[in-house]
Amino acid sequence: MSFFTELAQQYIDGEWRPGSGSWDIIDFNPYDGEKLASIPVATAAEVDQAYRAAERAQEAWAATNPYARRLVFERALRIIEDREQEITETIIAELGGTHLKAAFELHLAKEFLREAVQLSLRPEGRILPSPVDGKENRVYRLPVGVVGVISPFNFPFLLSIKSVAPALALGNAVVLKPHQNTPICGGSLVAKVFEDAGLPAGLLNVVITDIAEIGDALLEHPVPKAISFTGSDKVGRHVATVCAANFKRAILELGGNSALIVLEDADIDYAVDAAVFSRYVHQGQVCMAANRVLVDRTVEKEFTEKFVAKVKSLKVGDPKDPATHIGPLINSTQADAVTALVDQTVEAGATALLHGSSEGNLVRPSVLTGLEADSPVLQQEIFGPVALIVPFDGEDEAVRIANDTPYGLSGAVHTADIERGVRIAQRINTGMIHINDSTVHDEPIVPFGGEKHSGSGRLNGESMIEAFTTQKWISVQHGRSQFPF
């Protein structure tokens, strides 16, 4: 079975059908350019149909016993386990993910489904005291209703499931729009898993489309009460603006410019391993990736030599080869942008310890150092295999450099003194930071999200309840109230 043949359609109200738009989204393999699928786009009318179907289905789903709802997620988990090889091949083909990356994505997708099983039972009501005699205040946790989910191209299967499964588990219905570069992994494959798991029709709808076709219809539509968006801060700003204008909740998981800090007492070999993984996993197309590697000047020479040597050992090539570490970037636009950025930074005076060449969408790793403090490249997210090594003198300067960015998503501190690392971590303005580890982590029960331009709101664990439910106060007056007139 080829998912690219079977699932190259819209999924609306439990039906697989082509979009009615006048043009097609073409799904390409980013490594060899093979055409994987051609999908007629969904129009704004079909976005409306998807939201209306979700609205119709949601009320009965919310009233379903949560013990019954959770069975869907148990079955979805088993389906993914049974089809793991096929899904792995699809991830490799559609987004150029290596075997290592596909395994990482599938492991986390399964973990989030296990958490969704538990999440179905977790919302709790409260009874609160009142200053009024005889009054009982009940506070209920209720689904928000319908949730719009917009997922990115880098971890499409995982990051769609990460919002879709909790929203459904908590009694909502969902309309999902995957990125146009990953319509199968991020969209219709997710729908197929839940369809086969027995999710009732209408509760999950997938529209494969583009803003060029639908404009802001997905955001402005009156049905959804919350939008969960994962992507760039530029688009996230627009999503937030439109949601605010339409009184919708926006959960925004945006870009990053993480710093991995290596203090003078760090285990250098271990820090090198962590830094190389943090920067080059999935070709650097990870919001948590360590764009900037900050190294205490006293160990800069040793660290840099070992870092460059390890980067040189990474195999670049066909992601179908299990030995490959670095596959292609998602498309030629990304590949050209990363290549141009490296060239411009070197022309501006940076030193290229490695200056990676490019061939098609394959971009070989670069390592740059000698950057001026005001270099523009230090302020931006680099969605590609480029590491910036920045020396510092003492932990105060490390903290200042780490915070000198509009982003605040993740980070790491490497040191022999754990509590010193924690003290430094507390001074860095990020939503997440890790001591003696990589910058790339996600776990189902810990709050995931960023500060500054890296987003607003949190996902995972209890944060999912905040994101996808609302509170309702119902008071009960036992006896008679006294009114002033």
Residues annotated as part of the active site: 253, 287
Strands 204-206 and 24-28: unpaired
Query: What are the tokens at 256?
Result: 């990053």
Measured CA angle at 463 (ends 461, 466), to 5 deg: 135
Beta-carbon contacts of residue 459 (< 8 Å; ≥ 6 apart):
162, 163, 166, 228, 251, 253, 447, 448, 449, 467
Q: Which helix (H) or strand (E) holds 319?
A: none
Q: Pull the structure tokens for residue 468.
A: 């996808």
Taking the CA atoms of 477, 480, 484 and 485 in sequence, report the sign of the dihedral they define. Answer: positive
**Rounded Cα distance, 324 and 257, in Å:** 25
CA 16 – CA 194 distance, rounded (Å) = 13
Q: Among residues 400, 340, 319, 361, which one has the least CA distance to residue 91?
A: 319
CA distance 25 to 22: 10
Strand duo 249-253 + 173-177: pairing: unpaired
Sign of the CA dihedral 163, 167, 168, 172?
Answer: negative
C-alpha Rg value of the chain to the nearest Å? 24
- What DSSP assignment string belongs to 362-389? EE--EEEE---TT-GGGGS---SSEEEE
349: number of Cβ within 10 Å: 10
Crossing angle for the helix pair 66-82 and 99-119, to the nearest 10 degrees: 160
Q: Which of 102, 91, 81 is nearest to 27 (CA)?
A: 91
How far apart are the C-alpha atoms of 102 and 99, rounded to whole Å? 5
Cα–Cα distance for residue pair 426/432, rounded to 1 Å: 10
Three-state SS for 84?
helix
Cβ(439)–Cβ(260) below 8 Å: yes
Q: What angle do CA 460, 163, 331 make, to 5 degrees?
A: 115
User: In a 3-state reduction of DSSP, which class is residue 472?
Assistant: strand
